[in-house]
Chains A and B, each alone.
Chain A
Amino acid sequence: LAKTTQPISMDSYEGQEVNITCSHNNIATNDYITWYQQFPSQGPRFIIQGYKTKVTNEVASLFIPADRKSSTLSLPRVSLSDTAVYYCLVGLHSGNTPLVFGKGTRLSVIA
């Protein structure tokens, strides 16, 4: 499984755009990049997934450069409710390669 590196924590004010970058230098050709969000006292939940270029959904955007060695999760105009831990995962995600979570990035949104 590709190892990922992301910042331990980030702070942001409400209304700002937040970009969290994840480094995954040894990503394999068939690997996907997936981001999860975890609120306190809850299990993680899927936010977004991509393979290359840009993916956007109602929650976030995911930017993946051509070499795929990094990815950036972008949260537009964050609110206090976006305070959570964000995990970047890389892998094929077949049944024989379970998802392995790192420590994630703890995002604190300040009023």
Chain B
Amino acid sequence: NAGVTQTPKFQVLKTGQSMTLQCAQDMNHNSMYWYRQDPGMGLRLIYYSASEGTTDKGEVPNGYNVSRLNKREFSLRLESAAPSQTSVYFCASRKTGTSGAYEQYFGPGTRLTVT
């Protein structure tokens, strides 16, 4: 099992460029998430998908769009990158059910710099 994989690992963009961050999980998890983490800060939720076919905004959705392509894949798109979007982006997935709580698995992150 690869767990949660993210591509690319590093990316440098110029202001106004667009790009898509890819995320895939092989654990058959229902829920997937995108977070960003700025230096010295905690993680902030951008978007999440509770199940295939659904997506919802998190704390900081402005400037981003997402696609839950299938159960395995959840992509994050920056349509017009801005320097304020320089950050480390983490994708995560979690098994969810009707009761209890389940641990969340994180990918290795994508380090994005916008100049």
- A-B pair count, CB < 8 Å, reads 66
A92-B101, A94-B96, A94-B98 given; A103·B59 CB < 8 A: no
Question: Chain A residue with minimal CB distance to B91?
Answer: A43
Question: What is the 8 Å Cβ interface bit string for chain A, positions 44-84, against chain B (1 contact, 0 not)?
Answer: 11100100000000000000000000000000000000000
Distance between Cα atoms of A46 and B3 in the complex (Å): 14
Count how many chain A residues have C-beta atoms less than 8 Å from C-beta atoms of the other chain: 26
Tell me, rounded to whole Å, the shortest Cβ–Cβ distance linking B102 to chain A. 6
Contact A93 B94 (CB under 8 A): yes
A101-B35, A103-B41 given; A43·B90 CB < 8 A: yes
Count how many chain B residues have C-beta atoms less than 8 Å from C-beta atoms of the other chain: 32
Interface residues of A, dominant DSSP: loop
| A interface residues, Cβ below 8 angstroms from B | 30, 32, 34, 36, 41-46, 49, 85, 87, 91-96, 98-104
